[in-house]
Amino acid sequence: MTTVTFALIAYLLGSISFAVIVSRAFALPDPRSYGSGNPGATNVLRTGRKAAAALTLAGDAAKGWFAVFLAQRFADEGSVEVTMAAAAVAVAVGHMVPVFFRFQGGKGVSTALGVLTALNLYLAGGTVATWVVIAFFFRISSLAALVSAVFAPFFCYLLYGVHPFLAAVVAVALLLIFRHKTNIQNLLAGKEGRFGSSSTGPS
């Protein structure tokens, strides 16, 4: 199977919005209709249903992992790494602009975690550790996500140098940062919510 085929499959997988699906299963409001309006685990958590939020996070991460895993397992020999990289970017794009949900997608934090886990566990671990440290000290989820997005390419470079995975991680990080543009504006204005506030939410 070609790289383009796997990228298309990854995009379609990314377009499955677990925030919307899980909310419907739990008879919750559409996550695009309240809070940040973002279909992600953090916004679903605003309903108070922790199980729904956990399932959303797990589903969004799993699709990111699965898209890259499929490329790793079935891509043509000789183009495995390039195909994995293409799938990594495509599944993130699918999450952010899903064809199945009127192109109203999430910000990509959970899906990016799944992608990084599939690419390299050490890469994912370093990025998660960065998120935890920033979140612990500043208690701002979006800031933790943004700093993690900045550091992920650095970790990838340490592991692989100039490599298709590095290009993919840079692309996903830039997409994630772009999707957080409102959060960045709020951070600069000192208005971004901290954990426990009604305005918290990067994903």
CA distances 17 to 23, 30, 31, 48, 196, Å, are: 10, 11, 10, 19, 24
How far, in Å, CA of 102 to CA of 92, rounded?
16
Q: Does the pLDDT value for residue 35 go beyond 90?
A: no
Using CA atoms, how far apart are residues 79 and 28, in angstroms rounded to an integer?
43
Q: pTM for the full model? A: 0.92
pLDDT of res. 201: 44
- What pLDDT was estimated at residue 102? 87
Q: Considering Cα of 105, then 58, then 33, then 194, what sign does the dihedral take? A: negative
Q: What angle do CA 83, 38, 148 make, to 5 degrees?
A: 55
Q: pLDDT exceeding 70 applies to what percent of the chain?
A: 96
Provide mean pLDDT across the span 55-70. 98
How far does the chain reach from its first CA to its final CA, in angstroms?
32
Task: Show the tokens assigned to 18.
Answer: 């677990």
pLDDT tens profile 152-195: 999 999 999 999 999 999 999 999 999 999 999 999 999 888 87
Tell me what the pLDDT averaged over the chain comes to. Answer: 93
